[in-house]
A = this chain, B = another copy of it.
């Protein structure tokens, strides 16, 4: 038996925030469970739980089924009272998902919106949408705990400010978190859209995968990186910018000034342009998808070709990063049969066997709301972080 209250040995002692995280994760649902997992005394657990209940963070449900003894009281996050918003800003759309802190999507809304309208106009629109969704789901505005935002460009995550975003005119250094702080009084977390999609995909669809790459093939091509369960943003926060990696043996000119960039070879915009060159009607990536789905041979061949190009680059990244999972998402993932075939072919040909032996390459499992939900998860994980909760319970 270990000596009591010994912070040196297998140290029990978990802060209220850590207890809440356990409850939130769904891994434990009763006080007795918590005591078993944390090894804290049952009395201590009750104390922690009482504090969380007193602060309205946890609810005591009805009794759970008995397993031969007194039935436990089930504990759960007080989802009614705590909501977050996940915002997905695209080049030409805006999607907002209202979620409770349990991760359930309560309502979502999408509409076309040009990011080029500038931060003031766009963010005011987001604010209105969030308020509308709160009303629609009959939640008090005061129940909003935080906001996650995904934007189509590089962001300095710590300050939440876009940095020289190529397709977001007027957004450079705009203080997005301050906007939401003044409107809702909550913290906003802003990240690149591919990052939040990677986070959402990992948390929702691949919870057991610790090293995940999310490849988004849309108009451009980007990559979100989850390493050891956390987002890897790199030194300047622009990690995952794979659109301009050189593809061997191809010389398609790219808007970046170089030739043979992955984006120029396999990006939706470039595929569409090539199809136009063949006399077909394709303005964007979605038209490419439509043509493939209708069985157009040139389009199918081209997407497969694009898959090989993506796979060529991905093969190098797999060798370098050694992920356990690669997820293909973005507009062109709608035709993932063709795309994945090319990707797998190239990756398995060129990557090291040890790196590919357990590697999974799969299409995205999250749907249209991927980015909004991912942003919401970012917000939830902030709101439920032990530091946040401890501050709340202590204050």
Contact = CB atoms under 8 A, between A and B. Distances in A.
Contacts of A246: 248, 312, 315-316, 350
Sorting the interface of chain A by its residue count into under 10, 10 to 19, 20 to 34 or 35 or more gives: 35 or more
Contact of A323 (B235, B245, B260, B390): B235
B242 A320 contact: yes
B244 A163 contact: no
A241 B323 CA distance: 12
A214 to B, nearest CB: 13
A394 B8 contact: yes
A235 B358 contact: yes
A interface, over-half SS? loop
Given A8-B15, A319-B241, A390-B9, A248 B235 contact: no
A310 B239 CA distance: 19
Contact of A235 (B163, B210, B247): B210
Contacts of A249: 248-249
A321 B248 contact: no
B7 A13 contact: yes
Contacts of A239: 320-322
Interface in A60-113: none
B236 A355 contact: yes
Interface stretch (A140-148, A226-234, A282-290): A226-234
